[in-house]
Amino acid sequence: MQSDYLESRAADAAEEAVVLDESVTVAEAVKVMREKDVSSVFVSRKGEKIPVGIVTERDVLYRVVAANMGPFKITLKDVMSSPLVTVSDSATVRDAVTLMRSKGIRRLPVIRAGEMAGVITLKTVVGNIPSKSIELAHIEDKKAKTACPYCGSKFDDNEDLSKHIDRIHLGSGLLEGDLRQW
């Protein structure tokens, strides 16, 4: 089952993404993120169909809050990460994960016919593979120790990796008050 999923098309695994204009304020974007229950928004230029950047919760914390910038004055254009790495809708989930790992990113826009078809995330990929057989870390190197697809930490077995992902990446985090890694 895992192998079938990893060989499926990235477009089939993609989720709906939120795209906002670069002129939207960070405060407005955060409200949309809360309403849509997403941890990031993609940023486009007026009239363009393919986004040019991304703003995540972490960007808001580090680039706006920690820098004492006013979220009601600063726009997405000012804090977005750009250029945006994308993948074609014909790529496989395995190709998408390999690209995300090589670029150190967690979200990858899927492009179809010159438009954004959705986003594939490591969280979604991990959630769709049976936890007893997680082998995402072995996509690139089958002989390597098990590595976390989010942060690259090494583990002796898949069970320890699964506990790490649940506790650190999918469980409580900085926004929930977990300061262990900070």
Q: Where residue 76 sits, what CATH number does that domain have?
A: 3.10.580.10
Same domain, 123 and 167: no
- Contact present, 146 and 152 (Cβ < 8 Å): no
41 and 116 co-located in one domain: yes
Read off φ and ψ for residue 50, nearest 5 degrees. -100, 125
pLDDT value of position 138? 47
Same-domain status, 139 and 121: no
Mean pLDDT of 60-87: 93
Domain tally for the chain? 2
Residues of the chain above pLDDT 70, percent:
80
Domain that holds residue 15: 2-129
- The stretch 12-34 carries a mean pLDDT of 94
Q: Are residues 73 and 89 in the same domain?
A: yes
Q: How far apart (Å, rounded) are the C-alpha atoms in residues 2 and 130?
A: 7
Give the percent of the chain with pLDDT over 90: 43
Domain identity same for 73 and 88 = yes
Q: From CA 137, how far away is CA 146, in angstroms rounded?
A: 5
Phi, psi for 111 (deg, rounded to 5):
-110, 130
Q: Choose between 182 and 82: higher pLDDT.
A: 82
**Same structural domain, 113 and 150:** no
At 87, which helix (H) or strand (E)?
strand 87-88
Q: Quick check: 164 and 180 in contact, CB under 8 A?
A: no
In eight-state DSSP terms, residue 178 is -
Cis status, amide bond into 83, omega within 30 of 0:
yes
Q: Is residue 38 located within the same domain as residue 95? A: yes
Mean pLDDT of the chain: 81
> Which pLDDT score is estimated for 143?
45
**pLDDT grade, residue 12 (50/70/90)?**
confident
* Residues 100-117: tens digit of each pLDDT: 888 888 899 999 988 899
Whether 59 and 117 share a structural domain: yes
pLDDT by residue (tens digit) across 118-177?
999 888 777 665 554 445 544 444 444 677 777 777 877 777 777 777 777 665 544 444
Q: Measure the CA angle with vertex 12, ends 6 and 15; round to 5°.
A: 105
- Tell whether 119 and 170 lie within a shared domain: no
